[in-house]
Amino acid sequence: MTANRKGRIIVAANIERLASESADLFRRIAIESVTRSGRFSVALSGGSNPRPFHRLLADEPYRSGIPWAQTHIFWVDERLVPADDPASNFGTARNDFLARLPIQRSHVHPMCSDKPPPRAADDYQRTLGTHFGVDAAGAPVFDLVVLGIGIDGHTASIFPGDRTAVETDRWVVAVTGGSPNVARLTLTLPVLERARYVIFLVSGRQKAATVHTIITGDTSLPPRQIAPAGGMVTWLLDRDAAYLLPAGLDGVGPAIV
Ligand code: 6PG
Residue 148 phi, psi (nearest 5): -115, 180
Q: Is 48 in the pocket of ligand 1 (CB under 6 A)?
A: yes
Determine the pLDDT at residue 86.
94
Determine the pLDDT at residue 20.
97
Determine the pLDDT at residue 251.
43
Element (H, E) at 200: strand 197-202
Q: Give pLDDT tens digits for 11-44.
A: 999 999 999 999 999 999 999 999 999 999 999 9
- The SS3 call for residue 188 is coil
Of the pLDDT bands very low, low, confident and very high (cuts 50, 70, 90), residue 128 is very high
Which numbered atom of ligand 1 lies nearest the CA of 51? 15
Q: Does the pLDDT of residue 107 top 80, yes or no?
A: yes
Residues 1-8: what's their mean pLDDT? 55
pTM for the model stands at 0.94
Handedness of CA 157, 14, 68, 85 (dihedral sign): positive
Higher pLDDT, 191 or 4: 191
Which numbered atom of ligand 1 lies nearest the CA of 204? 17
DSSP-derived letter for residue 199 is: E
Which numbered atom of ligand 1 lies nearest the CA of 76? 9
Side-chain-facing half-sphere of 95: CA atoms under 13 Å: 11
Q: Is 177 in the pocket of ligand 1 (CB under 6 A)?
A: no
Report angle CA 127, 128, 129 to the nearest 5 degrees: 95
In SS3 terms, 135-181 reads as CCCCCCCCCEEEECCCCCCCECCECCCCCCCCCCCCCEEEEEECCCC
Whether the CB-CB separation of 231 and 195 falls below 8 Å is answered with yes
Which numbered atom of ligand 1 lies nearest the CA of 202? 15
Residue nearest atom 1 in ligand 1 by C-alpha distance: 46
Of the pLDDT bands very low, low, confident and very high (cuts 50, 70, 90), residue 1 is very low
Q: Is 49 in the pocket of ligand 1 (CB under 6 A)?
A: yes
Determine the pLDDT at residue 3.
40
Give percent above pLDDT 90 in the chain.
82
H helices of the chain, in order, are 15-37, 51-57, 62-65, 89-96, 117-132, 189-192, 208-216, 222-225, 239-242
Q: Does the pLDDT of residue 115 top 80, yes or no?
A: yes
Determine the pLDDT at residue 247.
75
The lowest-confidence range among 96-100, 193-197, 216-220, 243-247 is 216-220
Q: Give pLDDT tens digits for 136-189.
A: 888 999 999 999 999 999 999 999 999 999 999 999 999 998 888 999 999 999
Indicate the burial class of 211 (C-beta count within 10 angstroms; 0-12, 13-18, 19 or more). Answer: buried
Residue nearest atom 12 in ligand 1 by C-alpha distance: 150
- Cα(36) to centroid of ligand 1, in Å? 30
- The SS3 call for residue 217 is coil
